[in-house]
Structures are given as C-alpha cells and as structure tokens.
Amino acid sequence: MNYKNIVLIGYMGSGKSTVAKLLSEDLSIGLTDLDDFIERSEKSTITDIFKNKGEIYFRKQEHKYLQQLLNFDKNMILSVGGGTPCYSGNIDLINKLATSVYLRSSVQNLFNRLIKEKSERPLIAHIADKDLKEFIAKHLFERKSYYEKADLIVDTDDKTPQEIVIELKSLI
C-alpha cells in the first residue's frame, strides 16, 4: 500500500469522522479532523466561529489550516468538513498532496442522519425539519462536482463503517 495522506471528503453526515477513526486504527496511522484542528487552533467551536466571525472568515481559516496540515504531515488520515473541498481550490490542493476519498451517500441517508444532528451544524441548524431534505438535495447538487474530483469514490449506503473501511483498504 502506498501511503501518503488520505483525506476523507463528503457531505455533512456521510460518516467521514467514524470511517476516518476506524481506518486510522486499522492502518495504525495518525488521525486528524480538520474541524477539531480549527477549533483547537482558534480556541472556539465551529458554531461560535460561524456566529461571531461569519462563514467567510471560517472558510479562510479552513483553507489556511488545511494547507498547514497537508504540508506538515505526509502520513495521516485526515477527515475534513463537508464544505472544505468546495472552497479556495481546496480539492485541487488535497488531490495534489494526498489521496482523496469521497464517501458518497444518498440524500435520504444524509437526511436520516442529519435530522438527528442538525443543531451541531451551523449551516443547517436553522432549517426547518420539513425543509431539510430538499435543502440537502440542492446543496449536495451544488457540491457534487467538487466531491467527484476525488481520487476514489466509495458508496456508503447500506454499508457499516467496518464494511466501508474494508472496501476503502482494497482501493488504496
């Protein structure tokens, strides 16, 4: 297996953090979560960064820390935010310095997960439950072209995180 950084991308609720943790344990490679790294570096939660400084500031910091992490480490599993690949040329940066994997989930599955976890995510916290599925469908459509630039795509519907890790390992 040819290790360089492995970056997991995908829409909010696609299971990036869970799969990244399992994969890192399985391969005994360090794990970094970009959102956690941003929170530690900025000494603030993602929710508070969005609230106090706005999304544009968040996207600038997200790009800066992504660059730092990818240039610093050459052998880690990195899970990034759902929006990360879609701003500031981040997907091209990721593809240059890492192997990217898109965890692709259907709108229905994303909806089933996100309806329970809405409040933790500033981009959807304010969306009414009845509108959430339509929001996800539209938002995913806008982001899809960035996600599909990934080196590898793994479909996650009806698979356990363990099954996803097995499939992923067979591809990298």
* Position 161 contacts ligand S3P (CB under 6 A): no
Query: Phi-psi category of 9—alpha, beta or left, where left has phi over 0 and alpha has psi -120 to 50?
Result: beta
List the Cα angle 62/66/67 in 5-degree steps: 120
Interface characters, 67-86, with ligand S3P (x: CB under 6 A): --------------xxx---
Per rule CB under 6 A, is residue 123 in the interface with ligand S3P? yes
Element (H or E) spanning 5, and its range? Answer: strand 5-9
Q: Binder to ligand S3P among 46, 77, 101, 110 (CB under 6 A)?
A: 46
Give me the residue label for tokens 């943790």: 21
Instruction: Identify the residue whose tokens are 């519907």.
Output: 157
Q: Is 115 in the site for ligand S3P (CB under 6 A)?
A: no
Judged by beta carbon, residue 5 or residue 82, the one nearer ligand S3P is 82
Query: CB of 73: closest distance to ligand S3P in angstroms?
Result: 19
Residue 24 to residue 27: CA distance in whole angstroms: 5
Amino acid at 147: Y
Q: How far apart are alpha carbons 55 and 157 in whole angstroms?
A: 30
Give least dist CB 27 to ligand S3P, A.
21
Q: Which of 6, 12, 98, 164 binds ligand S3P (CB under 6 A)?
A: 12
Task: List contacts with ligand S3P (CB under 6 A).
Answer: 12, 35, 46, 81-83, 121-123
